[in-house]
Structure 1
């Protein structure tokens, strides 16, 4: 319990104040790392964090993201919200998945790199099942090879398949 107690004489008891400062230390910070994806183009490393809008081309990236979401749904993609641990409604969970860092990096790559160029992304965390499923479909829809190095392994996406054979 974090509270200050006064002694019977109305004078503050500093041991209780010290105890209350321990409560501040006990405040829980999020125990997860932010998802971050990196892509290098022409000697410049571009960093993407999930939901971030600080990239100079964010407007174009999010526009492409919305376009891609429509194309994915037409191709039969259904967002997998089972691992979204936030207390959100279903639409908000889908929106959170939609803005994962690897999807932002991938969209930026599709905007910048010419057709047929292999896309290479490095991610600091393990890729979620939803991104894995979506990127398999994207590789087929856009005719691109996508290589993503996550915390666990390399994923080589090509023509709707991944080299991990969906075991990651």
Structure 2
């Protein structure tokens, strides 16, 4: 492009962030500044987001300070949320909570929800319960925050709290968005719901998932049952995980495309930790690139690794 403005650079930085290419995002930001283009508040959201999704804690904090001191841009709630996310994803939950409490703005449900997501990944019960209480007290009508609180309590095995949150959702008339994934094969879109058994080739997909499960077990895979968010026996929890929509989509894609060709799957919710691990194993076993776009970002799985570096 002959002319590049702040919007152009921000789009590039944002895309790098979504793919976990934090270092490239940093270089793009530096190049933008070097050409004399001043970043705006949206550009700073993009760069801190990119640092967050690549584990670049020091760099992300430096840009937050850079924004205030050099460019005199007053942080908005979205900038604070990015810093909380930056700290939480790296397991710095005490620092994240302290940062929230020191904010000059009143933390909203998105801020506490960001901290809560980090607690779920690290298993920090005390901080998780404090964040959950703040979300409940804010009385948000955003279903996603209640679902997040419920999922955290489920992962911790606190089923009485799970039932309380689900009852609260029903009383408010709120409904959880069902998980679904979709993909396009030869100009036709195929949609898969979590636990779906009513799509073409269901039996073949189920058999393939069983075969893959055996091969993954030989590679060392053990199901992480904390992501089966129902109070049932362990065998049922494994079955629930196997029915997650992205696994159905991936297996269907493997059956209906040529060996070695890449697959692209879209998902409406955040990919769970167990499905993330499973997809890494599958990419190695079948020797295919598997691109999964969830509600947050893109994940490119190849040879048993993911482009996100497990920061997502």
- TM-score bracket, normalised by the shorter chain, equals 0.7 to 0.9
The Cα of 1:31 is off from its aligned counterpart by 4.3
Residues 69 and 98 in structure 1, CA contact (< 8 A), matched pair in contact too? no
Q: Counterparts in 2 of 1:6-45, with a 5 A limit?
A: 27=171, 31-45=175-189
1:85 aligns with 2:229: yes
Aligned length: 143
The Cα of 1:85 is off from its aligned counterpart by 2.1
Q: Which has the higher helix share?
A: 2
Instruction: Measure the CA separation in 1 of the matches of 2:232 and 2:291.
Output: 31
Q: Which runs of 4+ in 1 moved over 3 A?
A: 26-31
Instruction: Measure the CA separation in 1 of the matches of 2:256 and 2:195.
Output: 20
Higher relative contact order (CA 8 A, sep 6+): 1
Task: Give the TM-score normalised by structure 1.
Answer: 0.81
Q: Which has the higher strand share?
A: 1
Instruction: Measure the CA separation in 2 of the matches of 1:107 and 1:29.
Output: 35
The Cα of 1:84 is off from its aligned counterpart by 2.2
1:113 aligns with 2:257: yes
What root-mean-square deviation, in Å, do the aligned CA atoms of Structure 1 and Structure 2 show?
1.5
Match of residue 154 from structure 1: 298
Task: Give the TM-score normalised by structure 2.
Answer: 0.44
- DSSP 3-state at the match of 1:144: coil
Match of residue 67 from structure 1: 211
Match of residue 124 from structure 1: 268
Structure 2: segments with no counterpart, 5+ residues: 1-169
1:57 aligns with 2:201: yes
The worse-fitting range, judged by mean Cα deviation, of 27-36 and 140-149 is 27-36
Match of residue 143 from structure 1: 287
Instruction: Measure the CA separation in 2 of the matches of 1:118 and 1:138.
Output: 12
Match of residue 52 from structure 2: none
- DSSP 3-state at the match of 1:130: helix
